[in-house]
Amino acid sequence: MNKGISAGIKYGSIVVLSAVLACIGTNVFCGKGGKTGVLDNEKILMTAEPFQAILGEESRYLNAIKARQAEDEKMLQGELTALQEKIKKSGKPENAFQKEINAFRQKVIFYNQKYQAQRKLVAAASQSARQQLDPFVRAVLDEMGKAGYDIILPKQNVMYAAPVADITADFVERLNAKEVKITFPDPMQFAVMNANGGQVKAGETATKPAEQVKTDTESKTPAPVKKEGEKTNTK
C-alpha cells in the first residue's frame, strides 16, 4: 500500500502515462538485460494507486466547479426567463431591449470564460502532481531493467506482443509498494503565479478544499440584469 501518499490526493486523463514513460524521454526504456516488456498505459492509470490518487483529487476539484457552474446556469436561466417575460408583457419590439439583451449575452460569455479558466487551472495542478511521480516511476523502471529487461515499451504503441511480454502488473505492484509522497497543488496558486509571471514548483503548495478554487475574475462578476425602474445599489 502507498502509505506516504498525501491525504486527499486522488483524477486526470490517459495522458497520465506520459508520467510513466515520458520521464524517460522517448517512451522507450533501455536496460542491460535481454528481455522486452510492454506496459499497458490504461491499466496503469486504473490500478496504480498514485495515479488513482491524482485522478481522484482532480475529479474532486472538477466536480466542485461543475456544481458551481450548474448553480450559475440556473441563475442565468432565471434571468433569461424574466427578461423574456418583460419583453413579452411590454408589447414593444425586441430591439427596444437591445441594451439589456446585450448585457445578458456578455454575462453568459463571462461565466463560460470563468469556468473554462478554472478547469485549465485544475489541469495545471494535476500536471504538477504527475511530475512529482517522475522519480518514483524512474526508480521502478530502473528496478525492472536490473531484473533483466532490455527494452520496455508502451503496449498501445506495439502492433503485437505476446501476453508474457506484458509486465504491467509487475510495474503496478512495484510502484504501489513505494512510499510515494506527492502534493496536489492548490489550482488557485497557478492563477496567482501566472499573474506575477512566476512558476509554481511541484510540491510547494498545500492542498486546499475544492470549494476554494476560484479565478481572479470571480470578484468581477457582472451585476444581475437590472429590472425596469429598479435602482442600482452601490455601497
User: Distance (Å, rounded) from C-alpha 49 to C-alpha 180?
Assistant: 9
pTM listed for this prediction: 0.66
Beta strands in the chain (DSSP E): 29-30, 35-39, 149-154
Domain parsing of the chain, residue ranges: 14-220
Q: What pLDDT does residue 150 have? A: 86
Q: Are 167 and 152 in contact (CB under 8 A)?
A: yes
Edge to edge, what strands does the sheet with 149-154 contain?
A: 29-30, 149-154, 35-39
Which set of grid coordinates corresponds to residue 195? 499573474
Provide the residue-wise pLDDT of the chain in tens; the chain has 235 residues.
Answer: 443 333 333 333 334 444 454 443 334 455 454 688 999 989 998 899 999 999 999 999 999 999 999 999 999 999 999 999 999 999 999 999 999 999 999 999 999 999 999 999 999 999 989 999 999 999 999 999 888 888 889 888 888 888 889 999 999 999 999 988 888 888 877 665 555 444 434 333 333 334 444 444 344 444 444 444 444 343 4
